[in-house]
Amino acid sequence: MDVFVLTINKVACEKMLKHLKVHGFNDVVVVDGVRPRTTKPTIRELHECICEGHYKCTEKFSKEGKHPRFIVFEDDCRFIVPDAYRKIMEAVDFLDARKGLKWGSLHVGHTPLGPIFPVRGTRSLCRTMAPYAAHCYILNGETARRLINILPKEKWKRPQMVEGLRQIPTFERFAFFPSIAIQNNNPKEMRWIVGDAVSYKTGVRFMETLAFTLTSLGCILLILAACVLLFGVVSRFKKKRASTSTSGTESPLQ
């Protein structure tokens, strides 16, 4: 698996490389991120710089990739489990081995903003309808090259890319559940809401619990609605059948 670290900060990059080495990642390629063009960039400009940096990683893989897939780390990513490399490779091998299962992305660091569903055969992965955060994710090589071909660089921006990777079919998006990687600092979007009063790990666990709970409730409500609908259809059919039977047995008027 090709390994990329996306960075614009030398010190943060050096810390990230040491962190990856501890967890068993070797042959790491550093990709220079995109710096804002102004000293006081707008939020939109910051987002576009982030997206362009991820585009550079995907483009580099599509041209120079040596393996069937690649993983991207932003320089503030940190694992919160031991032996992360083994866990990640086991997850990738599992997805590759499942017959009839096609996968495009695997979010190692994951904050769900939509429904999540279990994956049969494993307790560590889920299907994610609206994954958020791009500090650590894996792209299947075939998917990465397709993205480069269908989406020009100037359109590689939110909401199309990075969080959620909207060009990837919904049921080809997977994630670790629970997430095994977080960011060293709270993302700016989280700081806007709660400041630094809540840690990123706590925020992620809250969103995972919320997504799991709401998805479960949604499924229960759908099942109940289907049962009510089926009951109504069956009742109506029985009444119609009884009415037909009764009218058929009545004697004709003389």
Which tens digit of pLDDT belongs to each residue from 191-229?
556 556 678 788 888 888 888 898 888 889 989 999 999
Q: Which helix (H) or strand (E) holds 26?
A: none
Q: Is residue 46 over pLDDT 60?
A: yes
Q: Where are the domains of the chain?
A: 2-212
Q: How high is the mean pLDDT of the chain?
A: 87
Name which residue leads in pLDDT, 159 or 176: 176
Name which residue leads in pLDDT, 59 or 244: 59
The model's confidence at residue 73, banded by pLDDT at 50, 70 and 90, is very high
Question: Rounded to 5, what percent of the chain is helix, strand, coil?
Answer: 50, 20, 35
Q: Residue 147: is it exposed, middle or buried by C-beta count within 10 angstroms (0-12/13-18/19+)?
A: buried
The gap between the terminal CA atoms of the chain, to the nearest Å, is 88
Say which CATH architecture domain 2-212 belongs to.
Alpha-Beta Complex (3.90)
- Going by C-alpha positions, the residue among 107, 111, 79, 114 that lies closest to residue 92 is 107
Residue 87 in contact with residue 122, Cβ under 8 Å? no
Name the range with the highest mean pLDDT among 125-129, 160-164, 190-194, 210-214.
Answer: 125-129
Preceding peptide of 169 cis, ω within 30° = no
Q: Which helix (H) or strand (E) holds 29?
A: strand 28-32
- Going by C-alpha positions, the residue among 151, 135, 165, 17 that lies closest to residue 72 is 135
Q: Please compute the mean of the pLDDT values over residues 54-64 and round it to a whole number.
A: 94
3-class secondary structure per residue, 86-130: HHHHHHHHHHHHCCCCCCCEEECCCEECCCEEECCCCCCEEEECC
Instruction: Report pTM.
Output: 0.85
- How does DSSP assign 138-181, residue by residue? EEEHHHHHHHHHHS-GGG-STTTSSTT-TTS-GGGEEEESS--E
Name which residue leads in pLDDT, 158 or 251: 158
Q: Is residue 163 over pLDDT 80?
A: no
Name which residue leads in pLDDT, 254 or 237: 237
- Going by C-alpha positions, the residue among 134, 63, 66, 67 that lies closest to residue 105 is 134
Q: 28 forms bridges with which residues in the sheet? A: 3
Return the structure tokens found at 2. Answer: 């090709």
DSSP assignment letter at 253: P
